Amino acid sequence: MYLCRMVTADVMQLVEQGKMLPLMEEFYTIQGEGYHKGTAAYFIRVGGCDVGCHWCDVKESWNAETHPPTAIENIIENANTYSDTIVITGGEPLTWDMGPLTTGLKDKKLQTHIETSGAYTLTGIWDWICLSPKKNKLPVPEIYPLAHELKVIVYNRHDFVFAEEQAQKVSEDCILYLQPEWSVREKMVPLIVDYVMQHPKWKVSLQTHKYLNIP
Ligand SMILES: C[S@@+](CC[C@H](N)C(=O)[O-])C[C@H]1O[C@@H](n2cnc3c(N)ncnc32)[C@H](O)[C@@H]1O
Ligand SMILES: Nc1nc2[nH]cc(C(=O)O)c2c(=O)[nH]1
Ligand code: SF4
Ligand SMILES: [Mg+2]
C-alpha cells in the first residue's frame, strides 16, 4: 500500500495546484451510466472524498492518502493512447483543482466528462458535467445551471422528493435521470419505473457496467 509519510512538501504543493493528483485507478471501459452509457471511454478515478454516502460503491477511494500522487502529464499521456472520451470520477474529483488536468486533456483534443456530487467549487474545462447531488453535502449553487445531466440515486422513497427539489435548480436542457442504488435495486426499480411513467421528464439510468461485468 502507498504510504502517506513518503509525501514530501514539494509533492503536497503540486497536489494543491492540481499538477499531481492522488490516482486510485485508470481504466478503459464502456460508460455504464447516464446519457453516454454504451460509449467507450477512459476512466480516471481520483482518490479523496468526504461526502460520506453510506451506500457508496467505491469507499476505497475516500482516503486520498492511500492513493499515490501522480503527475498529470502521465495521466494525460495514458488517456490519449486509449480514447477520445475521458471520464474523470472518484472519489470526488472536485476535491482537487481540475484546471491543469482538463487543460492538458483539451490540448490533446479529448472530450472531458466529469462525474461529480458538485459538493465543491467547480474547476476545470468540461464538455459534459454529470451532477449527482447528495443530501448530506449539497452541490454548490454555481454548478446547477452548468450540469448537462442530473443523476439522482434512489435508495428510498424520499429520494423522489429530493430528485424533484434538485430538478428545480438545473437548466431546462439538463437531462434528468433516476438511478437505483445498487444494493436495493430489486426493490427500487419497480418504483422508479412507475415514477418515470407518471413523470416522463425523468429517464431511468442503470449501472449497466455491473450487468455487463466490466469495470
Ligand atoms: C462513485 S461516484 C464518484 C463521483 C462523485 N463523487 C459522485 O458521487 O458523483 C460515481 C457515480 O456513482 C454513483 N453511485 C455511487 N454509489 C452508487 C450505488 N451504490 N448505486 C448506484 N449509484 C452509485 C454516484 O452517485 C455517482 O453518480
Ligand atoms: N463502466 C463504468 N461506468 C461508470 N459511470 C460512472 C462510473 C463511476 O464510478 O463514476 C462508472 C464506473 O465505475 N464504470
Ligand atoms: S460523493 Fe461520490 S465518491 Fe463520495 S461518497 Fe458519495 S458516491 Fe461515493
Ligand atoms: Mg462506479
pLDDT, tens digit, 9 for 90 and up, residues 48-82:
999 999 999 999 999 999 999 999 999 999 999 99
End-to-end CA distance of the chain: 21
**pLDDT score of 3:** 53
| Candidates 3.40.50.720, 3.20.20.70, 3.40.50.10540, 2.40.50.140; CATH matching 4-212 | 3.20.20.70
Domain-by-domain residue ranges, the chain? 4-212
153: cell is: 440515486
Residue 104, marked binder: no
Interface pTM, i.e. ipTM: 0.99
Which ligand is closest in space to the CA of residue 137? 3
Residue 91 assigned to a binding site: yes
Q: Residue 53 Cα, ligand 1 centroid: separation in angstroms?
A: 9
DSSP string, 41-103: EEEEEE----S--TT-TTGGGS-GGGS-EEEHHHHHHHHHHH-SEEEEEES-GGGS--HHHHH
Q: Is the CB of 209 under 6 A from ligand 2?
A: yes
- Report whether residue 184 contacts ligand 2, using a CB cutoff of 6 Å: no
Task: Tell me the whole-structure pTM to 2 decimals.
Answer: 0.97
The per-residue pLDDT for range 108-141, each reduced to its tens digit, is 999 999 999 999 999 999 999 999 999 999 999 9
